[in-house]
Amino acid sequence: MITAIFDTLAYSKKLRAVGFTEQQAEVQAEGIAELIDTKLATKDDIHELEKSIQALAATTKKDIENLALATKKDIEGLALTTKKDIEGLAFTTKKDIQDTSVRNKTDLKELSYKLTIQTGLMLVGVVALLGTLIKL
Protein backbone atom coordinates (compact mmCIF):
# COMPACT_ATOMS: atom_id res chain seq x y z
CA MET A 1 0.00 0.00 0.00
CA ILE A 2 1.47 3.33 -1.08
CA THR A 3 -0.59 5.71 1.03
CA ALA A 4 1.97 5.43 3.79
CA ILE A 5 4.41 7.29 1.51
CA PHE A 6 1.92 10.06 0.77
CA ASP A 7 1.31 12.31 3.76
CA THR A 8 -2.34 13.29 3.33
CA LEU A 9 -2.28 15.54 6.40
CA ALA A 10 0.67 17.59 5.15
CA TYR A 11 -0.90 17.85 1.69
CA SER A 12 -4.21 18.90 3.18
CA LYS A 13 -2.48 21.63 5.22
CA LYS A 14 -0.76 22.96 2.10
CA LEU A 15 -4.09 23.11 0.29
CA ARG A 16 -5.76 24.98 3.17
CA ALA A 17 -2.81 27.37 3.23
CA VAL A 18 -3.52 28.40 -0.38
CA GLY A 19 -7.23 28.89 0.14
CA PHE A 20 -8.93 25.49 -0.04
CA THR A 21 -11.59 24.80 2.53
CA GLU A 22 -10.93 21.98 4.99
CA GLN A 23 -13.49 19.78 3.22
CA GLN A 24 -11.97 20.51 -0.23
CA ALA A 25 -8.44 19.81 1.03
CA GLU A 26 -9.50 16.51 2.62
CA VAL A 27 -11.35 15.34 -0.52
CA GLN A 28 -8.41 16.33 -2.68
CA ALA A 29 -5.88 14.57 -0.39
CA GLU A 30 -8.04 11.41 -0.17
CA GLY A 31 -8.54 11.37 -3.95
CA ILE A 32 -4.82 11.61 -4.61
CA ALA A 33 -4.07 9.01 -1.93
CA GLU A 34 -6.61 6.63 -3.53
CA LEU A 35 -5.20 7.30 -7.00
CA ILE A 36 -1.68 6.58 -5.80
CA ASP A 37 -2.85 3.47 -3.94
CA THR A 38 -4.83 1.96 -6.86
CA LYS A 39 -3.10 3.17 -10.01
CA LEU A 40 0.62 3.50 -9.28
CA ALA A 41 3.03 0.59 -8.98
CA THR A 42 5.60 0.44 -6.23
CA LYS A 43 9.18 -0.65 -6.69
CA ASP A 44 8.17 -3.94 -5.08
CA ASP A 45 5.34 -4.33 -7.62
CA ILE A 46 7.77 -3.68 -10.45
CA HIS A 47 10.33 -6.05 -8.95
CA GLU A 48 7.70 -8.83 -8.69
CA LEU A 49 6.67 -8.19 -12.28
CA GLU A 50 10.32 -8.36 -13.40
CA LYS A 51 10.68 -11.70 -11.61
CA SER A 52 7.56 -13.01 -13.32
CA ILE A 53 8.81 -11.86 -16.72
CA GLN A 54 12.23 -13.44 -16.13
CA ALA A 55 10.60 -16.72 -15.05
CA LEU A 56 8.34 -16.65 -18.11
CA ALA A 57 11.32 -15.89 -20.37
CA ALA A 58 13.29 -18.79 -18.88
CA THR A 59 10.32 -21.14 -19.30
CA THR A 60 9.76 -19.95 -22.86
CA LYS A 61 13.45 -20.39 -23.70
CA LYS A 62 13.39 -23.92 -22.29
CA ASP A 63 10.20 -24.71 -24.24
CA ILE A 64 11.80 -23.44 -27.45
CA GLU A 65 14.92 -25.53 -26.81
CA ASN A 66 12.79 -28.62 -26.18
CA LEU A 67 10.77 -27.99 -29.35
CA ALA A 68 13.98 -27.51 -31.33
CA LEU A 69 15.34 -30.84 -30.06
CA ALA A 70 12.06 -32.62 -30.77
CA THR A 71 11.91 -31.11 -34.25
CA LYS A 72 15.51 -32.13 -34.94
CA LYS A 73 14.74 -35.70 -33.85
CA ASP A 74 11.61 -35.74 -36.02
CA ILE A 75 13.58 -34.52 -39.03
CA GLU A 76 16.31 -37.11 -38.45
CA GLY A 77 13.67 -39.82 -38.18
CA LEU A 78 11.98 -38.67 -41.37
CA ALA A 79 15.32 -38.53 -43.18
CA LEU A 80 16.09 -42.11 -42.15
CA THR A 81 12.62 -43.30 -43.15
CA THR A 82 12.85 -41.47 -46.47
CA LYS A 83 16.27 -42.98 -47.16
CA LYS A 84 14.94 -46.48 -46.46
CA ASP A 85 11.91 -45.80 -48.67
CA ILE A 86 14.14 -44.62 -51.52
CA GLU A 87 16.39 -47.68 -51.16
CA GLY A 88 13.32 -49.92 -51.22
CA LEU A 89 11.97 -48.19 -54.31
CA ALA A 90 15.36 -48.43 -56.03
CA PHE A 91 15.51 -52.16 -55.36
CA THR A 92 11.93 -52.68 -56.54
CA THR A 93 12.53 -50.58 -59.65
CA LYS A 94 15.71 -52.49 -60.48
CA LYS A 95 13.87 -55.79 -60.07
CA ASP A 96 10.99 -54.56 -62.21
CA ILE A 97 13.44 -53.53 -64.95
CA GLN A 98 15.14 -56.93 -64.81
CA ASP A 99 11.79 -58.75 -64.97
CA THR A 100 10.72 -56.61 -67.91
CA SER A 101 14.02 -57.30 -69.67
CA VAL A 102 13.58 -61.06 -69.22
CA ARG A 103 9.99 -60.87 -70.51
CA ASN A 104 11.13 -58.80 -73.51
CA LYS A 105 13.85 -61.33 -74.35
CA THR A 106 11.34 -64.17 -74.09
CA ASP A 107 8.87 -62.28 -76.26
CA LEU A 108 11.60 -61.54 -78.84
CA LYS A 109 12.60 -65.23 -78.98
CA GLU A 110 8.97 -66.24 -79.39
CA LEU A 111 8.49 -63.69 -82.17
CA SER A 112 11.71 -64.86 -83.81
CA TYR A 113 10.46 -68.48 -83.79
CA LYS A 114 7.10 -67.43 -85.21
CA LEU A 115 8.83 -65.39 -87.89
CA THR A 116 11.10 -68.32 -88.76
CA ILE A 117 8.10 -70.66 -89.03
CA GLN A 118 6.18 -68.16 -91.15
CA THR A 119 9.19 -67.59 -93.38
CA GLY A 120 9.63 -71.36 -93.73
CA LEU A 121 5.95 -71.80 -94.61
CA MET A 122 6.25 -69.02 -97.17
CA LEU A 123 9.29 -70.74 -98.71
CA VAL A 124 7.39 -74.01 -98.87
CA GLY A 125 4.53 -72.16 -100.56
CA VAL A 126 6.88 -70.45 -103.01
CA VAL A 127 8.60 -73.78 -103.82
CA ALA A 128 5.23 -75.45 -104.32
CA LEU A 129 4.10 -72.58 -106.50
CA LEU A 130 7.32 -72.74 -108.53
CA GLY A 131 6.94 -76.51 -108.89
CA THR A 132 3.42 -76.00 -110.16
CA LEU A 133 4.52 -73.28 -112.53
CA ILE A 134 7.37 -75.36 -113.86
CA LYS A 135 5.01 -78.25 -114.60
CA LEU A 136 2.84 -75.99 -116.59
How does pLDDT run across 51-108, given as a tens digit for each residue? 999 999 999 999 999 999 999 999 999 999 999 999 999 999 999 999 999 999 999 9
Q: Where are the domains of the chain?
A: 1-40, 44-135
Determine contact, residues 2/42, Cβ cutoff 8 Å. Answer: yes
The pLDDT-based confidence of 6 (bands split at 50, 70, 90) is confident
Q: Quick count: other Cβ atoms within 10 Å of Cβ 12? A: 19
Beta strands in the chain (DSSP E): none
Please work out, in degrees rounded to the nearest 5, the angle formed at the alpha carbon of residue 122 by the alpha carbons of 118 and 126: 170
